[in-house]
Every structure is written in structure tokens, then in C-alpha cells.
Chain A
Amino acid sequence: MVEIEKRDRRIENGESRIETPAPTSLGAYLRRIVQRPRAWALSYLVTTLPALGLALLTALGWLPLTRYPIFSQILETRSLGALFDFAMAEMKNARVPWGTLALLFALPAWVVARLFWTWLEGGTLAEYAAAQTLSWRAFAQAGWRWFGVLLALNLAGAVLLGVIGGAALLLAAFAYMLAPALGWAIAGVGLALAGLFATWIEVARAAAVTQNERRIFRALGSAASAMAKQALLLAGLVGGGLALYGLLFLVHRWFMDILPLHWWLPTLVIQQAYTLLRLGIRLTRQAGQVGLLLNV
């Protein structure tokens, strides 16, 4: 906590600041996502804008296809039969929709988005950990400062999850051949383990920033220790977030199933609200992890 406050002062070019007592309740940290909305706004905007670009490319490319009502039928009814009919016609006519151009940009856009998100996370965690709201410059600098560490942790996490997930899947498939119940049980354990490791990596990212720890293994160790000490609170944070996420997903799914394609305005409102709320859940989790690591 002291180091954070010192770092904050260094970033602020040594300007003397009124010291704010560090919060002692988790709620105070959770409230920061609303009190310091920059992270929320940035994370929404900077992936929505490129997504809007890709969506415009897709929509404009597919606009000529809307002359064919079967195309709308596919989108409205999600009928694989209609999709087949349309695909056969498209293949016969050798017509490549311009919308597929979006696919060419998709992968590079994804890579850029991943990198940006890593930068954003550094600034976000620093902002939630700081006693005061950071300036734009401080936010940006925090993002750059922690970019390499967070990227390394993300990559390590991806590999770890890949290994665990792959091993669990193979084991489950093999066990299923012996006894279906055993297969499902192993799959369930695998899923739980994957969730546990994903949480560990996430907490490690928060630990790196909050404890100013650039060594990845130390950050992982800190995270493990925090998870053990604050297991219940962390479980509540993650579990609560999962439950809320699940509820949002079901509500969103229900709406998307009943809203016809041409009701684009209500669809836009509901989808973007869903997206914002999901982001909020993620940020709540990050803010909560920061608070737990700062020994709330």
C-alpha cells in the first residue's frame, strides 16, 4: 500500500498530494469501477470501434444479398436447411460476398485487440490500486510499465490452460469409454481445475501490479498465497461474478431468440447493455482482486 502511494507520487512528478487513507473494505474497491469509469469506458470503446469497423465491412458487403429473402430467413430462423440452400446457390453462382473481406482483417484486428487489452489491464489495475484517480498520462504509463509482465503471464496462462484442458479432455474421453459417468466426472474436474488456474493467472496479474512485482514467478506465488488466505472472499467474488454472468447470458439469449432481425434498435440496446454489464463484471472482479491483495 505504501509502495503504491509512493509510485503514485513518482508518476505525479513528485507533486505533493493529499494522502487518502487506504480503504479497508472490499466494497470501497468495488465502487472504484464506477468512481473511476475510465477503464470501463476505454475497454468498451476501443474494442467496439474496431468491431464496428468490421461489422460495417460485413454489413456493407452483405447488403446486396439482402435482395434475397432467403438470406434474411437464415438470419431470422437459423435454419440449417435454408443455409444449405443459400450456400449451394452461392457456390453455383461463384459469388464471393464482399463481407468476407472482414475475415481478412479479423485476425490482425484480434492480435491488436489482445495487445491493447494487455496494456489496458495494466492501467486498470494500477488505477484501482491507486489512492487517487490517475491522470491520463499516469494511466498510460502504468499500462506500458506492466505490458511485458502481463503479456508473459497471459501467454503462460494460455499454455497452462491448453495443457490442462487438453489433458483433461483426453482423460475424460478415455474414461468415458470405460464408464460414461467417470468420463463426465473427469471432465467436470478438468473444468474446475481450468477455472482455478485461470483465476490464479488473473490474480497473479493483479498481484504483479499491486505489489510492484515484475518477477512472474513471485507474482504467481503471491497470487497463490492470497488465494489461500482469502479463499472464501475470492470464491465469492469469482462465483458471484459467474452467477451474474450466467444470469445475464440467459436473459440476453432469451431476448436474442425472440427479437427478429429487423428489430435492430432494441437488439442494439440490449446487446450493448449486455456487453457493458459483462465488462463491468470483469472489472468488478479485477477491482476486488486488487482489494484482496491489498489485504482488505
Chain B
Amino acid sequence: MKTRINLLALLCCVGLLGLPAPSLGRATVPPPDVASYDITATYDPETHTLTGQQTAVYHNRTAAPIPNLVFHLYLNAFRNTETLWMRESDMGMRGYGFDPNAPGWTRIDQLSLADGTVLTVKALDDDETLVEVTLPQPVAPGESISVDIAFTAQFPKVFARTGWADSGDFIFGGQWFPKFGVWESGAWNAYPFHANSEFYADFGRYDVALTLPQDWIVAATSTATSGVVANSDGTATHTFVAEHVIDFVWSASPEFREMTREVEGVDVRVVYYPRQRAMARRALEATTGALPLYNAWFGTYGKGLYPQLTVVIVPPDAGGAGGMEYPTLFTVGALGGPMPACLRLIEVETVHELGHQWFQSVVATNEAEEPWLDEGFTDYATVRATNALYDGNLVDCAGWTFSYLAMHRMQYVMFPDTPMAGAAWDFDSMQYGIATYSKPLLALITVERTVGETAMQQFLSTYFDRYAFAHPRAEDLRAVMEEILDAEVAAWFFDQLVHDDGVLDAHVVAIDAEQATLERDGDLCIPTTVRVTHDGRHTPETIAWSCDQPTLTIDGAPRMVEIDPNGAIVLDQDLANNRLRRAPDPVTGLGILVRGLRFWQDFLWGGAVW
């Protein structure tokens, strides 16, 4: 028995060694490293140039051998005005423009294998934002390859997430090193850098040593306590370790101050310029308010593997670096002078970028091919957080409110016929915002209000738990939705909203003393209910309106009809026509008269009233 068990154990182990690596389609916590980097770099604030030496290791966790290595050199998109990125973006992003006198680029000076064999780097696109090296031997399944890369990076004056500002006293180092593509399904998933596109990378470990002038304060992606050593030449070397992350960014300035707070076991650090202290305070409050909510709704921050979180408040002339997410670090955009507390742009931006720590940094979907997956979920999280923290309002001034949800509704109804599915470069800039942010957010809110908070909670936490440290695609999300919610919800969500451009306008056509007539316009159909108040009856009646009824007729002296009375379908093109009374409301009329009287009195008196 014992011998047989031992033999079985031996066979299992041998078998395991020969088996392909487990798929990354499902979560493994902590995740196995795929793309790891050991980088030593020196940054010169005078020339805005960084010289680096990196050892990059790629672990083949798939069943297919890898014949070559592909790297992103993102900064090359900013080397002149003729690149694909520049042509697509009209040389700007979010209102910030490229300075042709301060371009950016990355150059691989040498790339060699661990044994010293120098490999030839070949560009895959005209702008060299994507390069490859052919390997002498493919990397077999389960094996790893290590390459040494000497590189130089020139940072642009910041306008699109990365670069320097404040006359060189501020640097945000994003997409600054040669970065592996993602090997999956037997090929590299990597594209030339498009203007609308964000990023896609594997999980791994980063060991980074950055040398800068001694008085510079550095913030960076990190999962362990960083170190700093002063050098004799007036510089200091800062060392960082970040495990189980998909990217590494850093920011530095001699002007930085910091404020810290611990929340639910996470050390939150906000770095900011002194004149932005008020803004930093608001961002800190928003972060520490929303983090426990996201923990409760989706799952623990970093699945417990990230003990730190850094927020960088970018200075006023570095606004192009603001509002962006990275593992364990995100940036909040500079907004110039003080902002009144009733305008919650800082708070909403903060809770949005924080939300990406769940949807992008841990559930690491492909932002290039399926940008709606991370942005849609993050914006959904943003709405929930703003509801909990700020009554949902982006603006709450002088009694007038404007919710974050309403803002996205506004965008959506302007251009509703946009499917959510599509690569980032398939959309123009307006469509991209709607397809990636507004429509997914509204669709998820509609799902939540249709299925209820409890079911939605289970769906979200299952999705996060199952795909943490993985790269799920839309079909994976659909499978979870069908499993946890139901197939009918998944059908209209995916078939009609994700992959199609159907729109919906359910409305009351007419209502008289005998009956009311309701219609649905548009290709999109979401089952709903109708609440009818009849003459002579105290209790309203609720009627189901299914998708096989394009028109609904209600008899029995209806006094008021309300389609979707709970406001679940926020995608409806026209909410004003969802509810109608048979006759004008005299009480409201009197209210208007009285309020109008006061308005016209003040108008006619003008300054004379004082």
C-alpha cells in the first residue's frame, strides 16, 4: 500500500512536471509571475533623460512555445508629430497638447540573452512603439527566458500621462521601460500604440532601483517598504519592490510633501505640492472613504497582497498626467486653484481611479481590445461610491444637484448608437467615451436595478474573486453573469448592449378617460413593469411589460401611468415620457404660481429690493 502510494505520488509529480502550465483564465492567489523586471536606472532632471539597465524575465505559462519576444516602447509615440498616436489624437489628450520641442522616446541600446548573445531588435511598426527579437530557441511551455536590456528613455513634457513638468521639477515615469507584450493563445497580444488605447500586461515582480538628485521625493508602485541610499555624487538611489503587479510607475519632485493614513490595513500615502494641500486632503478623505466600500463590495484591495497605496496629486502644469491608474498608485489631476466643496471633481476622480485598483490592476482585462471591461466596472464602482459618500452628486451647489450618473446619461443619450465591444482604436474620441465609460456604466446600473442589490453583489464579488490576477474577456464575464444572475439578463446585456447598438425609448403615447397606450421604440428591449393609478382606486396596479409586447394598452380609467416606476432602465433615451398624467396637476400648478410670483417680484424689484 505504502509502495503503491509512493509510486502514485511519484507518477503524479512527474506528470505535473510535464503538464502545460495552468491557464491564467481563473484566479490564482498569489499569481505566478509571468513578466518580471529588475531595473536599475538613473534619471537626469536637467535633460529629462533616463538611462537604464533591465533584466526582463518572461515565464511561459502557456502550452505553446514562444519563438520571439515582443516589447512595447510606448514613449516612441511621442517622438514627433507624425506618429500614429499623434495623427489619431490630433497631438493632444484631454485638452493637453504635445510640445514638439519636448518630445519623448525610448531606445534599446542593446538587448542580449543571459549568456551574452546579442539579439537584433526589429521594429514591428513605423513608430517603433512595438519591437521584437527573434530567439535562437523558442521558450518551451513551463520554461523562462531572461534578457538584459540597456535602454535610454527621453521623457516628453507631460501631456499624455507620462513626462516632466514644472520646468523639470516634476516627473511622472509611466510606460518608461521596454515592456513585454502578453503571450496568449499562441501569439503575442500587443499592438502599436494608438491614441485611444491604454495598456495590457502580465503579472510579475518588479525590483527597481532609481537614482535621482538627493533632495527629490519619490513615489512609486510598491508592495514592500522602499529603501533609499545617499550617494557621494549628490544623488540618492531609491529601491522598490512590487510583486504581483502588471506595471511599475514612479513620480518624483523636490517639492513633494506627503500625508498618510492607514485604513483597513493599507497604508495610504498622498504626495502633493504644498500649494495643493487642500486638494490632497480631499483626495485622502475620498480614498479612505471609498476603500472600505470597495473592499466590502468587490473583495479585499489587492486580494490582501498590496499593503500600500499611493496617490499622486500632479502639479498644475502636469494635468496631463492626472486621472490615471496604475498598480498600487494612481494620479489625481491638477485643477488649478481651490475648488469649492460643492464641486466634487476631486472626490469623484479619486474614487474612480481607486476603483481601477480592482478593475484593471487586479482583474487585468485587455484595455486595448476591450476597454469597456475595466472602465465600465470602475465607473459603476464610482457611482456606487459617490452614492454612498456624496449622495451621488458630482455637483451640489446652492440646492442644485448634478449626479455622476446623470452626467454619463447625458453623454450617452447624445450618441446612443454605439456598441460597447470594440478595440480602443475602433472608436473616435466621442464614441470611445460613450462605449467605454458611459454605456457600460448605465448598463451595469440597469442590471443592478433589475436584479437587485443582493444578486448584483454576488455577481460582482464572484467575478472579482474568480478573475483576480487574471485576464478575463467579455465571454468570461458573460459566463459569470449567466451563472450568478440569469441568462435573460446576460442576453440583453451582451447581445443588445455590448455587441449591438440598439437603443430604447419606452413611452406613454396617450392617456384618456378610457385607456392608456404605451409603446417601445428602438431595437433594445429590457423587460420592465408599469404602475397604473386608476380613478376611484387607492392602490396603484403594477403590470409586467415583456419584450414580446411592443405596444401595451391599459384599460380602466387610468389617471396616471408610470413605465419602469423604480427607474431601473437608465438607458432609456427619454425618461420624461415614461410617466404621464391624464390631466394637469392643479396642485403643482399652484406651486408653480407661488414660486413664480416670488421670482417675478425679485426680478421686477431688481436691486431695489435691498
Whether the Cβ atoms of B583 and A67 lie closer than 8 Å is yes
Q: Could you name 28 residue pairs across A and B whose Cβ atoms are closer than 8 Å?
A: A47-B604, A50-B604, A51-B604, A52-B600, A54-B600, A55-B593, A55-B596, A63-B589, A66-B589, A69-B560, A70-B579, A78-B399, A79-B402, A80-B400, A81-B405, A81-B406, A81-B407, A81-B409, A86-B576, A88-B574, A88-B576, A92-B574, A113-B604, A261-B591, A262-B587, A267-B594, A271-B598, A275-B601
Any A CB within 8 A of the CB of B345: no
- Rounded to whole angstroms, the CA-CA distance of A58 and B405 in the bound complex is 31
Q: Determine the chain A residues whose CB is within 8 A of the CB of B585 once the complex forms.
A: 66-67, 72
Any A CB within 8 A of the CB of B5: no
Any A CB within 8 A of the CB of B338: yes
Whether the Cβ atoms of B609 and A278 lie closer than 8 Å is yes
Whether the Cβ atoms of B608 and A282 lie closer than 8 Å is yes
Which residue of chain B lies nearest to A107 when distances are taken between CB atoms in the complex?
Answer: B603
- The tally of residues in A whose CB lies under 8 Å from a CB in B reads 58
Q: Determine the chain A residues whose CB is within 8 A of the CB of B407 once the complex forms.
A: 81
Q: Determine the chain B residues whose CB is within 8 A of the CB of A264 once the complex forms.
A: 587, 590-591, 593-594
Which residue of chain A lies nearest to B338 when distances are taken between CB atoms in the complex?
Answer: A180
Other-chain residue from A52, A84, A85, A110 in contact with B597 (beta carbon distance below 8 A): A52
Any B CB within 8 A of the CB of A106: yes
Any A CB within 8 A of the CB of B134: no
Whether the Cβ atoms of A78 and B596 lie closer than 8 Å is no
**Chain A window 31-50, contacts with chain B (Cβ cutoff 8 Å), 1 for yes, 0 for no:** 00000000000000001101
Q: Determine the chain A residues whose CB is within 8 A of the CB of B591 once the complex forms.
A: 75, 261-264, 267
Whether the Cβ atoms of A75 and B595 lie closer than 8 Å is yes
Which residue of chain A lies nearest to B585 when distances are taken between CB atoms in the complex?
Answer: A66
Known: A54-B596, A68-B579, A267-B595. A88 touches B610 (CB 8 A): no
**B473 CB to closest chain A CB, in angstroms?**
33
**B390 CB to closest chain A CB, in angstroms?**
14
Known: A67-B581, A69-B581, A81-B406. A59 touches B593 (CB 8 A): yes
Whether the Cβ atoms of B406 and A80 lie closer than 8 Å is yes
Any B CB within 8 A of the CB of A218: no
Which residue of chain B lies nearest to A111 when distances are taken between CB atoms in the complex?
Answer: B604
Residues of B within 8 A of A (CB): 337-338, 395, 399-403, 405-407, 409-410, 413, 560, 562, 574-585, 587-601, 603-606, 608-610
Other-chain residue from A90, A110, A271, A278 in contact with B603 (beta carbon distance below 8 A): A110
Any B CB within 8 A of the CB of A98: no
Any B CB within 8 A of the CB of A167: no
Q: Determine the chain B residues whose CB is within 8 A of the CB of A296 once the complex forms.
A: none
Known: A48-B597, A58-B596. A79 touches B406 (CB 8 A): yes
Whether the Cβ atoms of B592 and A62 lie closer than 8 Å is yes
Whether the Cβ atoms of A257 and B399 lie closer than 8 Å is yes
Kindly name the residue among B583, B604, B608 whose own CB sees the greatest number of chain A CB atoms within 10 A.
B604
- Rounded to whole angstroms, the CA-CA distance of A176 and B338 in the bound complex is 11
- Rounded to whole angstroms, the CA-CA distance of A156 and B178 in the bound complex is 70
Known: A51-B597, A67-B585. A81 touches B413 (CB 8 A): no
Q: Determine the chain A residues whose CB is within 8 A of the CB of B399 once the complex forms.
A: 78, 257
**B299 CB to closest chain A CB, in angstroms?**
31
Known: A88-B574, A110-B604. A245 touches B610 (CB 8 A): yes
- Rounded to whole angstroms, the CA-CA distance of A15 and B591 in the bound complex is 52
Any B CB within 8 A of the CB of A109: yes
Q: Determine the chain B residues whose CB is within 8 A of the CB of A263 once the complex forms.
A: 591
Whether the Cβ atoms of A66 and B581 lie closer than 8 Å is yes
Whether the Cβ atoms of A78 and B609 lie closer than 8 Å is no
- Rounded to whole angstroms, the CA-CA distance of A183 and B605 in the bound complex is 31
- Rounded to whole angstroms, the CA-CA distance of A281 and B605 in the bound complex is 14
Which residue of chain B lies nearest to A120 when distances are taken between CB atoms in the complex?
Answer: B608
Q: Determine the chain B residues whose CB is within 8 A of the CB of A47 once the complex forms.
A: 601, 604-605
Q: Determine the chain B residues whose CB is within 8 A of the CB of A79 once the complex forms.
A: 400-403, 406
Whether the Cβ atoms of A80 and B402 lie closer than 8 Å is yes
Q: Determine the chain B residues whose CB is within 8 A of the CB of A82 once the complex forms.
A: 406, 575
Which residue of chain B lies nearest to A262 when distances are taken between CB atoms in the complex?
Answer: B587
